[in-house]
Amino acid sequence: MHIEAGDTEANFARLQVKLREAVSGEVKPDVILLPEMWNTGYALEQIHELADEEGKATDELLSAFSREHQVHLIGGSIAEKRSEGVYNTAYVYNRDGEKTADYSKIHLFRLMDEEKHLQAGDKLGELTIEGTQAGLMICYDIRFPELTRKLALGGAKILFVPAEWPHPRLNHWRTLLTARAIENQIYVIACNRVGTSGTTHFFGHSMIIDPWGEIIAEAGEEEAIVRAQIDVSLVDEVRTRIPIFDDRRPPLY
């Protein structure tokens, strides 16, 4: 989706339209992923005034939606205000509207001044969806391969990535996401915003990559709902075929 920097009211309204669109197709989704900082965009100069106080407004909306539509919701991320400052945080809901996990971005992106305005999280993004373990990281986090490896070693078979990743780094986006999928033999599901904010152009290209590294669904630069059916048993199949987790030599590196 497009995100209006600093206009939380417009973003909440737009998100609800997009969520309704996501559940209105013939095939009902099991899991929905949203983009990064969808409530405020990168209005970092005013982030302390704009951020959602303890995430209450977001929680109310996402919890009610996931319960009403019986869908797992990885709520992208929001600017979330806590007593210590503002975090870039993702909430996860199950089909009953219960918040089952949260994750605050641990690597702050200096090129977009995040470290000047935001606090970094200090725990991993780990979740379970109906028995399948998954990992969650936010945008710039994908540049740190150790993080995905740690999540994969912990049992993750799917990696969810909300993002606001702009031009001119589309090549980095696609290459890094594909590399994370291939090197860890996991599904990577990544949702990136579209549209322009000031002089920054966000390219979208949300995508779903299988554990063999094939992009099985990909959006363009316009707003879109990207859908795919995934088969988690493919993770075990690929790991049996090329057993990288058995062949690792951690004492050497």
Ligand X SMILES: NC(=O)CCC(=O)C(=O)O
Q: Is the dihedral of CA 123, 144, 161, 242 positive or negative?
A: negative
Q: Which of residues 38, 160, 165, 203 is near ligand X by CB under 6 A?
A: 165
Find the part of the chain contacting ligand X (CB under 6 A) among 14-22, 23-31, 162-170, 216-224. 162-170
Tokens 């373990």 label which residue?
133
Shortest distance in whole angstroms from residue 209 CB to ligand X:
17
Could you confirm whether 191 is annotated as catalytic? no
Find the part of the chain contacting ligand X (CB under 6 A) among 68-76, 116-124, 137-145, 234-242. 137-145
Q: Name the catalytic one among 81, 105, 164, 191.
A: 105
> CB under 8 Å to 57, separation ≥6 — which residues?
12, 39
Residue 191 to residue 214: CA distance in whole angstroms: 16
Between strands 132-136 and 126-129, the pairing is antiparallel
Shortest distance in whole angstroms from residue 135 CB to ligand X:
17
For ligand X, the closer CB: 20 or 143: 143
Cβ proximity of 107 and 115 under 8 Å: no
Shortest distance in whole angstroms from residue 97 CB to ligand X:
28
Q: Name the catalytic one among 114, 139, 157, 191.
A: 139
Q: 200-219: b or e for each residue (b if 16 or more CB lie within 10 Å)?
A: eebbbbbbbbbbebebebbb
Helices 145-153 and 170-184, packing angle to 10 deg:
30
Residue 224 to residue 38: CA distance in whole angstroms: 15
Q: Which of residues 48, 167, 172, 248 is near ligand X by CB under 6 A?
A: 172
Q: Which of residues 143, 167, 201, 227 is near ligand X by CB under 6 A?
A: 143
Could you confirm whether 139 is annotated as catalytic? yes
Q: Which of residues 38, 103, 140, 203 is near ligand X by CB under 6 A?
A: 140
Could you confirm whether 105 is annotated as catalytic? yes
203 makes contact with ligand X (CB under 6 A): no
Tokens 């988690």 label which residue?
232
Catalytic positions = 36, 105, 139
Q: What residues line the site for ligand X (CB under 6 A)?
A: 36, 109, 112, 139-140, 143, 164-166, 169, 172
